Amino acid sequence: MRTIERVADVRAFSRAARRAGRTVGLVPTMGALHAGHLALIRAMVRRTDAVAVSVFVNPTQFAPGEDLDRYPRDLDADRRLAEEAGAHVLFAPPVEEIYPVEPGVWVDPGEPGRILEGAARPTHFRGVLTVVTKLLNAVEPDWVAFGQKDAQQAVLVRRLIDDLLLPVRMWVGPTVRDPDGLALSSRNAYLDAAGRRAAPELYRSLLVGRQLLEAGERRAGEIAARVRARLAATGVLRPDYVAVVAASDLSPVDPVAGRVLLLAAAVLGGVRLIDNLCLEVRGDRVAPSEL
Ligand code: PAF
């Protein structure tokens, strides 16, 4: 596996692959790779012929005071893991390669980027969509993969691709969880032992919401309130938002019907955790769905 730092070199890799009749996959990451990332890389290895994994801790998606400086970084481990998963290139550009100048043009996520995570982190998705656009333009992949764990990000990137007619297909991989239900995230490393023990309560609270749906409850507000109460009852998880929205565009759904996301964010000992379930609600039936 090659490690590439320059946009021109990763673009040359991708164009050479395509000239040779091979398809190119991209897995954008901020590094600190875990089993969730590796599942995305393996999926791209199955689907495409030449796979690039980008490792770039994108400064523009962090607000001042957030965890940019302490975000976990271990490029040697990332290189080893990406290679074991079958990647062909690790694209690890320095900041000045992606941001040679302060961005003058940004990709605005619109209203769906200002709710949920965007309400707590108002500049976050502008930074995400801007860097994803840059990474797509650098690598020019046929396929790009994202994880369902960051469901709002995945919905916004799909909208970016559709709205701006970007010539790439997107695949969203299911959330990978520890055996106790905690969704894998590079930020789980911030949890202390007690926090780690309590963290799966976020997922368990979402399951309460799914049980309500399975029992026939269709009022979005009632489901959100019950999940929020379950989170608050843990005494350690401080709920930020709980919402049931349309999986296609994050718009409100009430009564709940169709393909929906049940999303929650909570703070645990200073660490912000997010998780979600994607469900298909048709009449009496409630089934897990892909995002
Ligand atoms: O999900 C992430 O790791 C980041 O938000 C992404 C998509 C790599 C953009 O920096």
- pLDDT per position as a tens digit, 61-72: 999 999 999 999
pLDDT in tens, 226-238: 999 999 999 999 9
Q: Which CATH number does the domain 2-173 belong to among 3.30.429.10, 3.40.718.10, 3.40.50.620, 3.20.20.70?
A: 3.40.50.620
**Catalytic residue check, 37:** yes
Give residue 19's pLDDT.
98
Who contacts 136 (Cβ-Cβ below 8 Å, separation ≥6)?
A: 26, 144, 166, 168
Sign of the Cα torsion 290, 133, 183, 209 reads negative
- What is the CB < 6 Å shell around ligand 1? 28-30, 58, 61, 128, 131-132, 150, 153
Who contacts 232 (Cβ-Cβ below 8 Å, separation ≥6)?
A: 238, 239
pLDDT grade for 145, boundaries at 50, 70 and 90: very high
Instruction: Quickly count: other Cβ atoms within 10 Å of residue 61's Cβ.
Output: 21
Percent of the chain topping pLDDT 90:
100
Give residue 214's pLDDT.
98
Can you give the residue ranges of every domain in the chain? 2-173, 186-285
Give residue 175's pLDDT.
98
Rounded mean pLDDT, 121-148: 98
The three-point CA angle 174-91-107 to 5° equals 70
Q: Given ligand 1 and candidates 26, 29, 156, 184, which is best to mutate, with the most ligand atoms within 8 Å of its CB? A: 29
Catalytic residue among 34, 37, 88, 124: 37
Nearest to 53 by CA among 92, 22, 9: 92
Q: Determine contact, residues 157/133, Cβ cutoff 8 Å.
A: no
pLDDT in tens, 29-42: 999 999 999 999 99
Cis check: omega of the bond before 93, within 30 degrees of 0: no
| CATH superfamily entry for domain 186-285 | Pantoate-beta-alanine ligase, C-terminal domain (3.30.1300.10)
pLDDT grade for 282, boundaries at 50, 70 and 90: very high
pTM, entire model: 0.97
Phi and psi angles of residue 269, each rounded to the nearest 5 degrees, phi first: 55, 40
